[in-house]
Amino acid sequence: MSERAVHRMTADAFLAWHEQQEARYELIDGVPVAMAGARRRHDQVVVNALVGLGRQLGVGECRPFSSDTAVRISDYQVRYPDLGVDCGRFLDEALEADAPRLVLEVLSETTRAFDLVRKVEEYKSVASLRHIVLVDTGEPKIIHWTRSAGGDWTYQTSEGLEATLEIPDLNATLPLRTLYEGLAFSAKPRLVVEEGPPASAEE
C-alpha cells in the first residue's frame, strides 16, 4: 500500500493559517513546525537589541520588527527571526516583512548548529537581506554576515563587551555592552600548567 502523500502548505496559506493559531510555528519545506519558547537570557538580548536599534531607526524608512513578523524565504519556507529591520513598505495588516534588510538570531544550545549553517544559508537567499547577525549568549560574541554590493557574503566575528556591531547602511551601531546589558557571564576556566613539585632543600 502506497504511503499517503504529505500535503505541502504554501507560504501564503501558512501565514493566513498561522494568524489563527495560539501556538507559534514556522513553515519548513511546506510543513508547519512548532517553535519552542525562549529562556529569559535569550529574551533579554532580543529586548536590548530591539530597544537599541529602535532608538536609532525610529519610524523612518527602515523600521525594526519583532519575532511576530515573518520573513518569507521561499514559497514553502517561512521564518520568524528574533529581530529584524524592514526597509520596505509598511502595511498595517501585513504579516511579513516587505523588504527585510537585517535579521538577528540569538543562538541557543538546542538550535545553535542549525542556525549557524542551514538557517544562515536560508537567509542568504532572501534578495533584500544585507545583514545576518548571530548572537551568542554564553559569552559576549557575535557573528555578522554582510552582503557586498556585488552580492558576495562575508562575515566578521566580534568578541568582548568593548566591541560594537556596525551597520553603516542603516546608520546604526550597537555596542555589545548594550546588547548584553543586564546579563552576567561566567569566568572562563584558566589553564594552569604544573611545573612539578618544589625542589627539596639540601640537608
HEC string for the chain = CCCCCCCCCCHHHHHHHHCCCCCCEEEECCEEEECCCCCHHHHHHHHHHHHHHHHHHCCCCCEEEECCCEEEEECCEEECCCEEEECCCCCCCCCECCCEEEEEEECCCCCHHHHHHHHHHHHHCCCCCCEEEEECCCCCEEEEEEECCCCCEEEEEEECCCCEEEEHHHCEEEEHHHHCCCCCCCCCCCCCCCCCCCCCCCC
Tell me what pLDDT residue 110 has: 66
Check: pTM over 0.95? Answer yes or no: no
Instruction: List the domain boundaries for the chain.
Output: 38-69+81-179
Tell me what pLDDT residue 194 has: 59
Q: Give the Cα separation of 166 and 39 in Å (integer).
A: 27
Tell me what pLDDT residue 3 has: 45
Query: Beta strands 100-106 and 131-135: pairing type?
Result: parallel
Q: Give the Cα separation of 74 and 59 in Å (integer).
A: 27
Query: Beta strands 131-135 and 141-147: pairing type?
Result: antiparallel
Tell me what pLDDT residue 2 has: 44
How big is the chain, counted in residues?
203
Q: Give the Cα separation of 165 and 171 in Å (integer).
A: 11
Which portions of the chain are predicted below pLDDT 50?
1-3, 201-203
* Residue 43, Cβ density class (10 Å: 0-12 exposed, 13-18 middle, ≥19 buried): middle
Tell me what pLDDT residue 198 has: 54
Tell me which CATH code domain 38-69+81-179 carries.
Answer: 3.90.1570.10
